[in-house]
Amino acid sequence: MIRLALAVLASMVMTAPLRAAEKVSDFTLDNGMQVVVIEDHRAPIVVHMVWYRAGSADEPPGQSGVAHFLEHLLFKGTDTLAPGEFSATVAKNGGTDNAFTSYDYTAYYQRVAADRLPLMMQMESDRMKNLRLSEDDIKTERAVILEERNMRVDNNPAALFREQKDAAQYLNHRYGVPVIGWRHEMEELSLEDALSYYGTYYSPNNAILVVAGDVQPDQVLALAKQYYGVIPANPDLPKERYRSAEPPQTAERRLVFRDARVAQPYVSRSYLAPERDHNAQKQAAALTILSEVLGGSTTSILAEKLQYDSKTAIYTAAYYGATSLDDTTFDLIVVPAPGVTLQQAEDALDDVLAGLLENGVDQDRLDRVKMQVRASEIYALDNTEGLANRYGRALTQGLTLQDVQDWPKVLQEVTADDVLAAARTVLDRRQSVTGWLQAEEVGQ
């Protein structure tokens, strides 16, 4: 029965059309704002997102966390909205809203009934340029983000470990600075810092409007012109997104992070890896497939070798952050089984990697992984919010609509030789950081 079900799934997956490209429209307003419309008429809802091509990696030195700080502050008042009124209005209209900040972007979104789209555009365009802040707002919200850091980072040994590991991986690039910020710099963030970042990056010529759902492209364009098109472009927007470059890594880096709160030690390793680029997605696709082959599921190589065959680990995983403006990482994790030391777990990981680099990937495993990836890409088309997120994230990081639409095809064109070549290029210990997370009393 299982084999039959897999065969049926394979048939469905291989014949299912990738229809996203047929329902995406793209416009540019006179002030430089990009407008992307993704049609999905199955339900009378709409996802409205504004993405700014600015994140924590665009912050001035010494002001880490200001991008995330400003994200919080945008929910304060404007000339026409009282503090908190934005979200209250969305909720009153039966919708949900939120925002998020990453290294390369900051995004704001609402999910509402389709006929509420004009109201969302009216409010979102208002806070693009009319934010009003006071010193009391700064003090209150600075306390909020510091408490958020307490909860998410300072009280979480794994999060503290990841911060230190990222800092070791990126010696000079801003990806080595946490998105939420270093505490000592967060404590000093000021009204002037927030307004300077806001004035520099929050303008239509640095923004992408993504609207997905039960809408027509001409309707969205007309509304975008009405609400966003009247906002002047910022003539002082930096023409290039300046980033301090990472020097070539020529030596392996290691760290041990000890914390008495650690209940489950583990080994983590990251390698510097190329990101997915416009018109050059082949290597990123091979690395994406490699991450699935190595540690993407319970049928991956790491799980098979370390969890089931040798019983060395209770959990293994591999991750690759393809969508990134600058060099990204390829990451591996091994959580050792009881009685297995971190050194033994790391040695077992190295044995698996050595075998992969010597023997490559067998075709049956590759075909199975590619089928799973294709199924995932097709199922993702049923998630309107996920599609809006996919396009917005890609566009803020230098990719185009065509790159997004070509991506599933590029993934399916990956060969076993491509995977092996990518593995031999990236899995080089000289460009890696290996970290051990363990309790203070454990001596490995």
Number of helical (H) and strand (E) elements in the chain, helices listed first? 16, 11
Contact between 378 and 13 under an 8 Å Cβ cutoff? The reply is: yes
280 SS3 class: strand
Q: Is 185 a residue of the active site?
A: no
Q: Where are the beta strands (DSSP E) in 2-138?
A: 24-28, 34-39, 45-52, 96-101, 106-113
Active-site residue, selected from the candidate residues 71, 292, 346, 377: 71
| Helix%, strand%, coil% for the chain, nearest 5 | 50, 20, 30
Neighbours of 355 (CB within 10 A): 12
Angle CA 47–53–59, to nearest 5: 130
Bridge partners (DSSP) listed for residue 336: 313
Contact between 54 and 194 under an 8 Å Cβ cutoff? The reply is: no
DSSP string, 353-393: HHHHHHH---HHHHHHHHHHHHHHHHHGGG-HHHHHHHHHH
Contact between 300 and 293 under an 8 Å Cβ cutoff? The reply is: yes
Helix H segments across 212-330?
A: 217-227, 282-295, 301-302
The residue to which tokens 């990453």 are assigned: 102
Q: Which residues are catalytic?
A: 71
